[in-house]
Chain A
Amino acid sequence: MLDLAAMRAKIAVLESGGRAGHGVLPLGIEMVDAALPGGLPLGHWHEVIGDGQEAETCAAPAAFAALMASPLARRGEAVWVLRRDDLWAPGLTGLGFPPERLIQVCARDEAEALAAMEDALATVGVAAVFGEVEAVDLTAGRRLQLACEKRGAVALVLKRRPYGGAGKREAAGSTCATRWRVASAPSEPPAGEFGLGAPRFSVALERCRGGRTGAWILEAAGTYSWEASDAPYPLRLVAPLGDRQLAPAPSAHRHAA
């Protein structure tokens, strides 16, 4: 007799075309992990995008991606492929991302950036690869996916438009495992304190293979402190957003990670 979890596992194996899965990275937030297949799937590539001005500056999406992948960066090396070299390492330190484990690469064009990402993904010891590119078409997406599967590394594609550029039309289809739309959200300082609170993001999981979509307000846990790099889970839930009827019964979707 097949129970639900076993059946699910079987389906996952069929879906992955016979390739063994690489596990997941749980985010430690029950609601988000439940929408995802237990956590961020490893050995896949993910899209993180911003709206409006963020599509050009890519600050909140980059910070969110760095936070999400910081447990991976502590496990192995990370590579960040840039087109504009405005990523600033001290800012990563404050978020708890270890910049001393990060190799930054500045590519001259889109094709070079994607090639560098593929190369890094297929390398032993690299756990996470960030890439700031304008668009990933179906072929490039497929190649990224194959590169991810080689070592089980995670690729985070930060969609970023050149300044003043018109922006390419979104590709019709995409082979990414998840797509996150990230914007910064007003922060809340601790009661009785002035100034800004911990960075908050309004995050929409727009696409999720083997899971469901959702929208939440998340907050970076323990930023701008010496303990930032020790937090087991770098994000915490502030509030769910959107259609609450889709909120799942959490217990049915807990996976061992």
Chain B
Amino acid sequence: MRRLAAVDARAAALYLRPGLKATDALAIVPGLTTAEAEPEADAAALTALADWCVRFSPAVATDPPDGLFLDIAGTDHLWGGEEAMLADLRGRLLGNGLRFRLAIADTAGAAWALAHHGPDGAIALPEGQADLLRPLPPAALRLDPAAAAQIERLGLRRIGQLIDLPRGPLARRFGAQALMRLDQALGRAPEALSFRRPPTPWLARLAFFEPISAPEDMARVTEDVCAKLCARLEAEGRGARRFEIFFHRVDGKVLPLAVGLSLAGREARRIARLFAPKLEIVDPGFGIEAVTLAAYEVETMSGRQVRIETASEAAVEDGLAPLVDRLANRLGSERVWRALPAESHAPELAVRRARPLAEASSARNWDPEAPRPIRLFRRPEPLDQVVALTPDEPPRRFRWRGRVHEVARAEGPERIGEEWWKQAIDDVSVGQVRDYYRVEDQAGARFWVFRAGLYGDPEAPPKWWLHGLFA
């Protein structure tokens, strides 16, 4: 059945409401113009608006179908207060021809209630949301419509009446959800919003009277905004591992760029230099009107001490850390690593990739007495034409990559069980044992081969594989 999904102001004046059957609506207003609802397009538009709002705070959560939450803790001072920030947001939204209602409060619940049912532009004082919420209807608590209707039917038409009720009966009668929503609105219970980016109070912002677009201007403002945020980090003895810069275009699009550091840092020039090679992918369009920089993974960082006696030895902050940062930002952080031991019996799982410089190896190193190949194939390669005399013997001859190798010397077996305890009990069998041999062919090439399965077991016939190459 087709129903109205949304109506404009004139339709509302004709008593059309969302949820009305389309046929009834046409009966009431014969000349009604309708258009297909496009929920996906609405969601995309909301997401775009959320991205645009990054100029006010990096932490923006969407509240489908038509709401946005902005966590402005620590960012309103950039506008000189909440009122000025709200006025700026209002002006920009009006300029885009949007219809909206705004509210600021301590909690997401209270802000939602004020925006939907309170006076437009309401700003609740810190800890003062309860007084503003009292006159609002229970529906302002984000309850599902049935629960809200039930509450109103019992004569509770104001949130204030709910606040005054004893908690026990309230929960019993209207369910735990009503109590939770009330607590969330009043700041007595936490509420997790799924922000598109983690909230951070570390934000710097530069706005321009004249939109900029020249590459050298972009480089300069990048440096300026880095300097601004880094000065704040420095003043509080902090450093950050991740920085994200947002270029706000005149047409409302936001272009983000991110860089990561291997050690927490706050050197503006170094950070700006990491952004520099990525600036060319930013298309300024008709111009950039503002730029914001957010810092994540902020941690305490003491000032560096210059040690005189080791001045000749390079400090990691001077050389290695910037190198790792440059490589990780150019190639992607997963392409730069340090190998650390991992506790595992399966050879291919014995190495863990760690962020270079991020952690010292605490685990034991690999046992150097167990010979291990220098090249390990991610997937063992099958061997064919394998000749082995008896079940426990290493192969005498095998073919790999189209070439036959005659084995001159061999060592083994080293039995390595697969990690059967990680699998379902039904999948466990003796076929999961691998017998590894180190073999050398007549030319001196050394291979790491293994036999999976056992002779004489019809369910798991033995098969030979090459897993790695020795020096």
Residues of B within 8 A of A183 (CB): 443-444
- A89 contacts B366, CB within 8 Å? yes
- A63 contacts B326, CB within 8 Å? no
- A103 contacts B351, CB within 8 Å? no
Alpha-carbon distance between A193 and B409 when the two chains are bound, in angstroms: 12
- B374 contacts A105, CB within 8 Å? no
Question: Measured between C-beta atoms, what is the minimum distance from A216 to chain B in Å?
Answer: 14
B320 within 8 A of A: yes
- B401 contacts A53, CB within 8 Å? yes
Residues of A within 8 A of B365 (CB): 93, 99-100
Alpha-carbon distance between A116 and B446 when the two chains are bound, in angstroms: 31
B408 within 8 A of A: yes
Interface size class of B (residues with CB under 8 A): 35 or more
A24 within 8 A of B: no
Residues of B within 8 A of A103 (CB): 320, 324, 336-338, 356
Alpha-carbon distance between A90 and B368 when the two chains are bound, in angstroms: 7
Alpha-carbon distance between A223 and B446 when the two chains are bound, in angstroms: 14
- B444 contacts A125, CB within 8 Å? no
- B327 contacts A91, CB within 8 Å? no
Please name the residue on chain A nearest to B322 by beta carbon.
Answer: A123
- Which DSSP category, helix, strand, loop or mixed, fits chain A's interface? mixed
Please name the residue on chain B nearest to A80 by beta carbon.
Answer: B339
A104's partner among B330, B336, B361, B471 (CB-CB below 8 A) is B336
- A119 contacts B327, CB within 8 Å? yes
B470's partner among A102, A194, A199, A228 (CB-CB below 8 A) is A199
- B336 contacts A57, CB within 8 Å? no
Q: Could you tell me which residues of chain B, from 410 to 433, have a CB within 8 Å of some CB in chain A?
A: 410-411
- B373 contacts A59, CB within 8 Å? yes
Alpha-carbon distance between A157 and B130 when the two chains are bound, in angstroms: 70
Residues of B within 8 A of A67 (CB): 471
- B409 contacts A196, CB within 8 Å? yes
Please name the residue on chain A nearest to B411 by beta carbon.
Answer: A195
- B409 contacts A59, CB within 8 Å? no
B44 within 8 A of A: no
Question: Measured between C-beta atoms, what is the minimum distance from B60 to chain A in Å?
Answer: 33
- B411 contacts A123, CB within 8 Å? no
Q: Could you tell me which residues of chain A, from 174 to 224, have a CB within 8 Å of some CB in chain B?
A: 183-187, 189, 194-196, 199-202, 220, 223-224
Among A89, A195, A220, which residue has the most Cβ atoms of chain B within 10 A? A89
Question: Measured between C-beta atoms, what is the minimum distance from A229 to chain B in Å?
Answer: 7
A108 within 8 A of B: yes
Please name the residue on chain A nearest to B410 by beta carbon.
Answer: A195
Residues of A within 8 A of B374 (CB): 59, 62-63, 66, 87-88, 91-92, 95
B438 within 8 A of A: yes
Alpha-carbon distance between A202 and B340 when the two chains are bound, in angstroms: 31
Residues of A within 8 A of B313 (CB): 125
B375 within 8 A of A: yes
- A125 contacts B319, CB within 8 Å? yes
Question: Measured between C-beta atoms, what is the minimum distance from A95 to chain B in Å?
Answer: 6
B468 within 8 A of A: yes
- A90 contacts B471, CB within 8 Å? no
B378 within 8 A of A: yes
Alpha-carbon distance between A54 and B446 when the two chains are bound, in angstroms: 11
Question: Measured between C-beta atoms, what is the minimum distance from B80 to chain A in Å?
Answer: 44
B318 within 8 A of A: yes
Residues of B within 8 A of A184 (CB): 443-446, 470-471
Residues of B within 8 A of A63 (CB): 374, 470-471
Given known contacts A86-B378, A95-B374, A225-B369, A104 and B444 CB-to-CB distance under 8 angstroms: no
A107 within 8 A of B: yes
B377 within 8 A of A: yes
- B339 contacts A104, CB within 8 Å? yes
A112 within 8 A of B: yes
Please name the residue on chain B nearest to A56 by beta carbon.
Answer: B401
- Taken residue by residue from 342 to 368, chain B's Cβ proximity to chain A (1 for < 8 Å, 0 otherwise) reads as 000001001100001000010001111
Residues of A within 8 A of B410 (CB): 195-196
Residues of A within 8 A of B446 (CB): 184, 187, 196, 199
Residues of B within 8 A of A57 (CB): 375, 469
- B323 contacts A123, CB within 8 Å? yes
- B375 contacts A87, CB within 8 Å? yes
Given known contacts A99-B339, A186-B442, A189-B409, A93 and B471 CB-to-CB distance under 8 angstroms: no
Question: Measured between C-beta atoms, what is the minimum distance from B19 to chain A in Å?
Answer: 54
B372's partner among A90, A105, A194, A228 (CB-CB below 8 A) is A90
- Taken residue by residue from 4 to 25, chain B's Cβ proximity to chain A (1 for < 8 Å, 0 otherwise) reads as 0000000000000000000000
B440 within 8 A of A: yes
Alpha-carbon distance between A135 and B370 when the two chains are bound, in angstroms: 34
- B323 contacts A120, CB within 8 Å? yes
Residues of B within 8 A of A106 (CB): 331, 335-336
Question: Measured between C-beta atoms, what is the minimum distance from A11 to chain B in Å?
Answer: 30
Question: Measured between C-beta atoms, what is the minimum distance from A138 to chain B in Å?
Answer: 25
Residues of A within 8 A of B368 (CB): 93-94, 96, 224-226, 228-229
Residues of A within 8 A of B323 (CB): 79, 119-120, 123, 126
- A58 contacts B371, CB within 8 Å? no
Q: Could you tell me which residues of chain B, from 435 to 471, have a CB within 8 Å of some CB in chain A?
A: 438, 440, 442-446, 468-471
Alpha-carbon distance between A20 and B313 when the two chains are bound, in angstroms: 20
Please name the residue on chain B nearest to A122 by beta carbon.
Answer: B323
Alpha-carbon distance between A216 and B368 when the two chains are bound, in angstroms: 26
- A186 contacts B443, CB within 8 Å? yes
Residues of A within 8 A of B469 (CB): 57, 59
Given contacts A76-B314, A86-B377, A184-B470, 4 further A-B contacts (CB under 8 A): A94-B368, A195-B409, A200-B444, A225-B369
29 A-B contact pairs sorted by A residue (CB < 8 Å): A59-B375, A89-B339, A90-B372, A91-B471, A93-B372, A94-B371, A95-B374, A99-B365, A102-B339, A104-B336, A104-B337, A105-B335, A107-B331, A120-B323, A123-B322, A124-B319, A125-B314, A125-B318, A125-B319, A125-B320, A126-B319, A184-B444, A184-B470, A184-B471, A186-B443, A189-B409, A196-B409, A224-B368, A224-B370
Chain B residues with CB under 8 Å of chain A are 313-314, 316, 318-320, 322-324, 326-327, 330-331, 335-341, 347, 350-351, 356, 361, 365-378, 401, 403, 408-411, 438, 440, 442-446, 468-471
